[in-house]
Each structure stands twice: as C-alpha cells, then as structure tokens.
Amino acid sequence: MINHLRHPEPPPSLARRKAYDGCDVREQLYGDGRGKCYLCEARVELGGFEIDHLEVQHEDPDNRRYDWRNLYCICRSCNLRRRKNTPPGGWLRPEDGPEGRLIQEIKSDEKATLFFCSRSADDREATNTAGELQRLHAEPSAKTHDLRDAIVTRLQWVQQAEKDLLEAEMSPDSENPDAVVRRREWLRTLVSRDAPFTALIRSRVSHRYRDLLD
C-alpha cells in the first residue's frame, strides 16, 4: 500500500448522493489511486476495477455509502477476499501515510516471501491493515499464487534494470554516452509510484539508486 493523494472534493454524482459508482466517481478514484488496486497495487483497468467501501456499507449505510473518503479502487480478487467488517481501531487509509506507518518488504526473491507489519505496536490502524495485507498476500489460493508470481516477475525486471544501469555506469563514456541516461529513466519508471507493487518493490531497490524514487 502506498500513499495516495485524495482529491478534496467528491465528484458531483457522489455529492448529490445519486450513486457511488458513477463515471465521474470511477474516473476520480482511478486517477487518485494511480490506476492500481489500493490493497495489492496490481494494475487495474478504468472500466474493470471495483469500488470498495473501506468501512463496509452494512455497518453504517447512511454515512458510509456516499462517503468520498470511504471509497477506493480495488481489484476483484482483493474485493472478494478482504474482510467485510471493520476491526476495533479501524483501517489505515492510503491518504493517511501508510509508507511511514507500515513495514512492507520482499524477504525472498524467488518465492516472494512477503512481510507486512506496523512500525508501532500502538498504531491499531496500521496493525490491522498490516495483518490484512499479510493475509491477502499469503493465503493458499490460485489468486494469491498469481499475485506472488507477478511480484517476483516485477522484482526481476527491477533487478535486471539495476544490473544494466550499473554496467553502463562502469563502461567508458565514449562507448555509449546515452546508455546511462536511458537506463536510469527505465529504472525510474519501474520503481515509480505509478508502477505496480511499488511499496514492496522499493524495499529491494539498492541504496545506490534510491535517488530515483519519486
């Protein structure tokens, strides 16, 4: 989960309490969420993602259904598997600084052993959210297996891009003066906030290239 910028004003159809899934709502959620599921950070299509109520509607339908701060862009897999109740202490919202409150790491390259936890034992929102992310990424299912495979593949791309960039940096400038620039921009693209699995992938970016993180 990465930090999101939430547009301050709700889209018109939501403000009028006409619908929480109107075209204007979908477009704003998609843009605010950088075209990714807010939980697993997999890419989603504008016309193919689902809208999640972070605090589910049945708990307080009058106040939750049309609450702009309660709606998020989510993939179908996560929406089917996520908990449908709010735990004591609540959930951490993407616009409330998850990158500073969660530890999100890839522990193993080949098997994509993933690790999520709160940076503070007293942070209930972060603790609840870390537990949910751990479950969504580790439960034994075909969807979870596919997700881990996608994360491993993405990590391999980043590692190869780092290797290629290092080789270009170590080669004589006269050999290919533009190679370093091109490879730095490719690595920057792979680890940008718009890329899939940003929070996890960034945990494995070498210190040499952390200046490329936006």
User: How much helix, strand and coil, in percent to the nearest 5, is found in the chain?
Assistant: 50, 10, 40
User: How far, in Å, CA of 153 to CA of 189, rounded?
Assistant: 15
Per-residue pLDDT, 199: 95
**Tens digits of per-residue pLDDT, 34-92?**
999 999 999 999 989 999 999 988 888 777 899 999 999 999 999 999 999 999 999 99
Per-residue pLDDT, 83: 92
Is the Cβ–Cβ distance between 32 and 6 less than 8 Å?
yes
Per-residue pLDDT, 113: 87
Residue 83 CA: distances (Å) to CA of 10, 79, 110, 158: 25, 9, 28, 32
Q: Which of 103, 49, 107 is nearest to 73 (CA)?
A: 49
Per-residue pLDDT, 173: 63
The segments of the chain whose pLDDT lies below 50 read none
Q: Which residues does residue 71 pair with via DSSP β-bridges, in sequence order?
A: 53
For the chain, the domains span 142-212
